A = this chain, B = another copy of it.
Amino acid sequence: MAKKREVASANLQNLYRIFTVPEAPDSTLGAIDQAISDDVSGFLQTHIVALERSLEEIEADFFVSAIPEEPTFVSEYTDFVKEKLVAQSVHTAAPGFVGHMTSALPYFMLPLSRIMTALNQNLVKVETSKAFTPLERQVLAMLHRLIYQGDEPFYQSWMHNSLHALGAFCSGGTIANVTALWVARNRLLAPIGSFKGVAQEGLVRGMQHLGCDGLAVLVSRRGHYSLGKAADLLGIGRDNLVMIETDAHNRIDLQHLRDSSRRLQDANIRPLALVGVAGTTETGNIDPLAAMADFALELGCHFHVDAAWGGPTLFSQRHRHLLAGIERADSVTIDAHKQLYVPMGAGMVLFKDPTALSAIEHHAAYILRHGSKDLGSHTLEGSRPGKALLVHAGLSIIGRKGYELLIDLGIERARVFAGMIQEHADFELTSVPELNILTYRYCPQAIRQALANSSAAVSCRINLLLDQVNQLMQKIQREAGKTFVSRTRLRVAAYAGKELTVFRVVLANPLTTEAILAEVLAEQCSIAQQPEVQELLLQIDELCRARAAV
């Protein structure tokens, strides 16, 4: 018994140590920590090895479902992290990793993230965040001002107003888009007369009150998939997320939008919101926002702009005109973990009307009391970390002009890369970059000529094979781990709007040089020589020759 008590007490002492004694600098974890703070890109380069291990092989290291009974030494665990996790991570910061929206981070983000983590503030309420609450309110005002350009008195009176918030910090663009449409729905179905509002009475009563058979959200085919989730979640239904055709430049087709709206009217379905995209996820194109603002006014519906990607284009004097009309949006989504270069997990939604978020306001007895400045009364999420610090740091340290440089650089680089693709005999540009995103595919000149001269049926068969070629090439390139592009399916105007498999490139990493982009193409050309790819290309060749023989 005494022995048992002794063991328990020893365990307790060990437990206290975990909370009170820092890792020694010469411990494994201390050493990694130091190595990262000394030279993160060096550390990542050395440790994220391009192992050609399949996911199935990696899974073997993550197959135990039982929670370990006994504690493990930190040093032992750190070895696991190094060998099994870091070594098998994706080097998202590598300049040759141009396939997705995750880029290198400015160095200062790391120590500031550590400060944020150590402070462990909770932004849901002032009692657990104090200065972080005014800080977050300030950041929301800064972004609001970037978009809506209100005047000084406007921000002085609204920024720290305890009854309102100019927007909401979120874990990402999805929650931002959901919040925007949630607000739109609750405002359309606000309390009036004996109707207590959709928030209180629910959607069925709301529809009865409105006297219509459904609500619709209109967005182009290139709208982000989070809008489908929002339509589902909010009870609107995915069928009522109306995907409008796009023009040759992946922008919403206004005539088609008009036609669809008429059809909705005939079906007694009320347009809840029109969503403009400022930087489509797959091609980086921007909808005609000003014309859409006009049309939303005509429809009498909420106008939301999903600028998760393209929002920071507003920093650029040269390019901000591309987003003209965004200042007329009722709400705008911007992701900080994209082109504000903040670590993963930081999105925002801003509202033109500083009282808009009242539509989703909520309270609780132990926090978020009426009149408190707690930000949690106006957010979809509850407890949240102090990520606003990192956005604030970016805006302060990089400044408007610094972000402008980054934006201009990316757009310029995309133009250069588009030129390289167009000049290359083996590639075909499938979307002209408007911002810093473009798509292309492997399609040698001879095949392009054959496609131009073939019957629709043959051309279709060739394209199906090319889809396989491009899919396979992307997979081989990804697994080799030297450079990385992503892939998607895209309707391409040059092929009568047929959906093709294409490579997708996002050029946001300032360290991506033209030489690296040339390497991406060179690597793809060499992959095309691999037997599996050649086999498919031979089949295409046969189709082309059969056509020539006719």
Contact = CB atoms under 8 A, between A and B. Distances in A.
B64 A138 contact: yes
Contacts of A114: 33, 36-37, 110, 113-114, 117
Given A381-B174, A384-B172, A486-B127, A115 B32 contact: yes
Interface string A153-180: 0011001100000000001111100100
A487 interface: yes
Contact of A118 (B44, B99, B486): B44
Given A40-B118, A64-B138, A100-B125, 10 more contacts: A61-B131, A62-B137, A67-B142, A68-B399, A81-B393, A99-B127, A100-B122, A100-B127, A171-B384, A172-B383
Number of copies: 2
Interface of A is mostly: helix
B389 A85 contact: yes
Interface in A67-88: 67-74, 77, 80-81, 84-88
Interface string A225-265: 11011011111111110000000000000000000000000
Contacts of A127: 90, 99-100, 478, 484, 486
A401 B69 contact: yes
Contacts of A14: 402
17 contacts: A11-B401, A18-B397, A25-B38, A32-B115, A59-B160, A61-B131, A62-B160, A65-B150, A66-B142, A71-B398, A90-B121, A102-B122, A105-B120, A127-B486, A171-B384, A178-B380, A366-B504
Interface string A128-158: 1111111101100110111000101001100
Contacts of A405: 8, 11-12, 15
B402 A15 contact: yes
Interface string A460-486: 000000000000000000100000101
A76 to B, nearest CB: 9
Contacts of A37: 22-23, 25, 30, 33, 114
B226 A214 contact: no
Given A65-B159, A366-B487, A89 B233 contact: no
A198 B122 contact: no
A41 interface: yes
Nearest to A202: B237
Interface stretch (A203-211, A318-326, A451-459, A521-529): A203-211
Interface stretch (A337-345, A348-356, A417-425): A337-345
A549 interface: no
B397 A120 contact: no
Interface stretch (A284-292, A357-365, A427-435, A540-548): A357-365
A225 to B, nearest CB: 4
A194 to B, nearest CB: 13
A58 interface: yes
A538 interface: no
B74 A108 contact: yes
Nearest to A387: B345
Interface string A389-400: 100010111111
Contact of A511 (B16, B204, B385): B16
